[in-house]
Amino acid sequence: MTIDKSLKIRMGAIRNRNVLTRSERIGKLTEAERWQEGDPVLGLPKTRVQKVTLKKKKKTKKAEEEGAEGEQKGAGT
């Protein structure tokens, strides 16, 4: 039997998760000083999940010059 495409892991840990584990939530609450040692771990307040977005790299002049030089060298031979 094969696995359905929707169940396969394509990107692994790269994808953003919208739910944190209890230990991750406690870590974020501790950083924000909203949870102290000894507080109950059940019924934790909500924590916001920051989505990480990657910006596309812009081409630099150096990369463009190298590409132009490569075209000139190829045309001369």
Residue 22 lies in a domain: yes
Side chain identity, residue 15: R
Domain of 43, in residue numbers: 16-49
Residue 31 lies in a domain: yes
Residue 20 lies in a domain: yes
Whether the predicted model's global pTM rises above the 0.95 cut: no
Residue 55 lies in a domain: no
Residue 35 lies in a domain: yes
pLDDT (tens, 9 = 90+) of the chain, 77 residues, equals: 787 777 776 655 556 677 889 999 999 999 999 988 999 989 898 888 877 677 777 777 666 666 666 666 655 55
CB 48 within 8 A of CB 57: no
Number of domains in the chain: 1
Q: What is the pLDDT of residue 13?
A: 53
Q: What is the pLDDT of residue 29?
A: 92
Residue 77 lies in a domain: no
Rounded Cα–Cα distance for residues 2 and 71 (Å): 47
Among residues 66, 32, 68, the alpha carbon closest in space to that of 47 is found at 32
